[in-house]
Structure 1
C-alpha cells in the first residue's frame, strides 16, 4: 500500500469518526433537552397541603403522588405534556406543563361527594347521606331562602322525588295535601310532622261551619325564614321511630340554631302583589246573549233588555298585597350559642273574604357544660289570623260566572248596601247569588236546625 492510499484511508476514518461523534452528541443533547423535572405543591380549598394526590402524565401510566406536605416532583417529556391531578372527593384538574418548572395546583371539593357528606336528620339522630339505608329526601335553607313562601311546606313542591304536593285552596294560609309515595290507607293519608322533635298533626277548626276549608296547616305558624332544613322519611323504617303515626311517612322540620362567632343581625323582607289577569278569567255571555239563550228554554227576561253588563269576576277578584319582614339575631361562643328571630307576614287573598296574617317569634339556644352535659331550648310563639270565605261565598269568582249578567249587586236601601237575589231583581228562571254580600266579613249567618217528629 502506498503512502497516498494510507493517507486517504486515515482521512476517511477521521471524518467518519467525527460524524458519528457529533451525531451521538446531538442525540444526547436533544434527549436531555426534552426531559425536564417539574415540582410543585397541591393544596385544598383552604390552602392546606393534600397528601396522596395522584399525579399522572396524561396518556401514559407514568405518575407519582404527593407527600405529607402536598409536594411532588415528576419528569415530563416536554412543554406540550399535560398532568392530571386527582384525589378522592375532589374535582380532577388537567394542567398543561408549559415552559415553567413549578406547577402549584389547588383542588376544589366535588359537589356530588360533598352532598353525600351532608348530615340528615332521621328521627333518632343524624346520619351522613352516604351512610343512609332508608329512603330520605332533604331540602336545606338554600331551597327556602329568597322565595315568597307563606309557609315552609310550600318549599317541598317539586323538590323531593316521591312527594306530591297539592293545595286544597288558593287562599293564603290554606293547608296542603302531602302524599308520600301515593295513597297508603283508606283513611287519612297525611304524613306526621315533627318540628324540632315535637310531633304535630293537622287538626280541624270546628268553631265555624266551613268544612275542610278551615283545617289548620301545622307549618303556617312557622316563619320560613327560621327553617334550617326539612327531611322527609319516606319508607317503613320511619315506623320504627314514631310508630303507627308514621304509616304515611314523616316530615322532620329543623329550625336554625346559633353558631360560634360574632353576633350578627340580619334583616330580609319583600313586598309584592298577586292578581288574576283578564286572559285567565272565564268568558261569559253578555246581557243580550244571556236573555236570548234563556228565551230558548222558555224564560222571558225581556224586561232586563238594555241593562248594563255586570262583570262579577271583576267584583270578586282583587289585587292581593303581600308583605313579609324578618329580623334575626344569631351568634355564640365556644360553649354557648343562640338564634332569635321575629317575623311579620301579611297577605291578602286574590278573592274577597280571604287573608292571612302571622306574627312569629322563634328562639333557640344551646349551653354546653363540660364534656358531658348540654342544655338547650326551642321556643316558638306565633299569632295567626286567617280570614276564610263563608260557605255561601266559597269559590265566589268561579261560581259568580253563572249569575245573570245584568244582576246588579248594590242596593242603598239594604242595611249592608247589597241587592238581594229575588225573582224581581234577577228575573224568573234566571240564577244569581250576591257573592259580594256572601264574602263580606260583616255578614254573619246563624242556622238553627230543628227536627220535629
Structure 2
C-alpha cells in the first residue's frame, strides 16, 4: 500500500511538471499615447526572470508558467503596472505617468530636488494642470494656484499684460520677479509671449530659496520648463483647441427712464422745488450697459510635434489665439 501511494505521488508530480513548463512571452510596453517605452524593465513577479524593452517597446521574456505568472513593467517617471498572463503568450502593458506627489521633481537653483526632500519656500504647477484650465496666458496659471503670488491685470484689453508679485512689494523700484525659461533669463515684458501648452512645469522660488540667483532674485524667481521630446521615440503629434464665448460677468443694476423720472421728481418734491418731469411715463429708455458690452468670441488652437532618436530630442509647438473684446465699438 505504501509503495502504491508513492507511485501515485510520483505520477502526480510528473503530470504537474508537464503543464508547468516554461513559456516565452512577447509583447509591448507603451505609454497612454501608444508610444513604445524603450528601456523599460519587464520582470516575472516573484522570480529573477526579466528583460529590457527594445525598439518600438517590444520585449520577450521566459516565464515559469504562462497560466499563473504575473508580469510587472517599470519605467522611470511612470507608475509600475502588473498584469496576469492567464495563459496568454502575447500581451501589451500600458504605463501611466506618475501622479504629482511628494516625489515630484522640482527645479531649484542649479539642480533638482523632490518635493519630499526640499525644505525651502517654493511651489509648482504642472503642465497637465495648465491644459485642464484652458487659459490663454501663462500668468493666469499662477493666479489662485500658488500661495503668496498675486496677479494684477494692468488693463482690460484682450491680451493685456499683468504684473506678478511674489509676497507683496519689496522695494520702491522694480518689483517684478526674475523669470527663467529652460535656464535662460526671460527679459520680455510679462509672460504673454509664452504658450501655456508648451510648458511642462512652473516652479516659484520665494525668499532665501531664490538667493542663488543673486540680486535680481530679490523679488522671487519663476522657473519655467518647456516640454521636451523623449529619446528613441517615434514622432508624436498632439492637436488641441477650443472655441468659447465671453461676456461681462457682473453689471450694475441701474434705473430705467421711467424709474429715474419718478425718483427725480420725488427728490425735487422733498425740497419744495418744481418737478423736472411733468410726465414720468418715459418707458424703459436705453440700457447703455447692453449697448456698450457685447458677447465676444475666443478661439485657441495648438499643435505640438515631439520625438527623438538616441542622440537628440525635439519638441516643436505652434498656437493660434484670438480673443475679441467685450466692449463694442
TM-score band (shorter)?
A: 0.5 to 0.7
| SS of alignment partner, residue 170 of structure 2 | coil
CA distance in 2, matches of 1:348, 1:299: 48
CA distance in 2, matches of 1:276, 1:292: 29
CA distance in 2, matches of 1:299, 1:259: 82
After superposition, the Cα gap between the structure-2 partners of 1:288 and 1:120, relative to the gap in structure 1 and judged at 3 Å, is: same
After superposition, the Cα gap between the structure-2 partners of 1:160 and 1:47, relative to the gap in structure 1 and judged at 3 Å, is: farther
CA distance in 1, matches of 2:275, 2:164: 50
TM-score (norm 2): 0.62
Tell me the alpha carbon deviations over residues 184-233 of structure 1, each in whole angstroms, 9 at most, x when there is no partner: 33444332222233323575xxxxxxxxxxxxxx2111111111111101
After superposition, the Cα gap between the structure-2 partners of 1:245 and 1:314, relative to the gap in structure 1 and judged at 3 Å, is: same
Q: Which has the larger radius of gyration?
A: 1
2:34 corresponding residue in structure 1: none
- 2:260 corresponds, among 290, 297, 302, to 290
2:216 corresponding residue in structure 1: 245
8 Å Cα contact 2:103/2:115 also seen in 1: yes
The answer to whether residue 271 in structure 2 is matched with residue 321 in structure 1 is no
Alpha-carbon deviation of 1:140? 1.3
Q: Greater share of helix residues, 1 or 2?
A: 1
After superposition, the Cα gap between the structure-2 partners of 1:264 and 1:190, relative to the gap in structure 1 and judged at 3 Å, is: same
The root-mean-square deviation of aligned C-alpha atoms, in Å, is 3.3
- 1:196 corresponds, among 168, 171, 182, to 182
Equivalent runs, 1:396-407 vs 2, <5 Å: none
- 1:220 corresponds, among 176, 180, 192, to 192
CA distance in 2, matches of 1:251, 1:169: 23
| SS of alignment partner, residue 131 of structure 1 | coil
CA distance in 2, matches of 1:137, 1:239: 16
1:132 corresponding residue in structure 2: 118
CA distance in 1, matches of 2:41, 2:278: 84
| SS of alignment partner, residue 259 of structure 2 | helix
Deviates more, 1:259-268 or 1:152-161: 152-161
Paired residues, number: 239
After superposition, the Cα gap between the structure-2 partners of 1:265 and 1:125, relative to the gap in structure 1 and judged at 3 Å, is: same
Alpha-carbon deviation of 1:339? 0.8
Alpha-carbon deviation of 1:284? 1.0
8 Å Cα contact 1:150/1:172 also seen in 2: no
| SS of alignment partner, residue 133 of structure 2 | coil
The answer to whether residue 43 in structure 2 is matched with residue 48 in structure 1 is yes
CA distance in 1, matches of 2:285, 2:188: 44
Deviates more, 1:124-133 or 1:333-342: 124-133
CA distance in 1, matches of 2:304, 2:226: 13
Stretches of structure 1 that go unaligned for 5 or more consecutive residues are 1-44, 51-65, 71-90, 92-107, 204-217, 353-439, 441-453
After superposition, the Cα gap between the structure-2 partners of 1:304 and 1:238, relative to the gap in structure 1 and judged at 3 Å, is: farther
TM-score (norm 1): 0.47
1:259 corresponding residue in structure 2: 230
| SS of alignment partner, residue 255 of structure 2 | coil
8 Å Cα contact 1:325/1:343 also seen in 2: yes
Alpha-carbon deviation of 1:235? 2.0
Deviates more, 1:141-150 or 1:286-295: 286-295
Equivalent runs, 1:141-152 vs 2, <5 Å: 141-152=127-138
Higher relative CO (CA 8 A, sep ≥ 6), structure 1 or 2?
Answer: 2
CA distance in 2, matches of 1:48, 1:173: 52
CA distance in 2, matches of 1:299, 1:172: 48
8 Å Cα contact 1:138/1:230 also seen in 2: yes
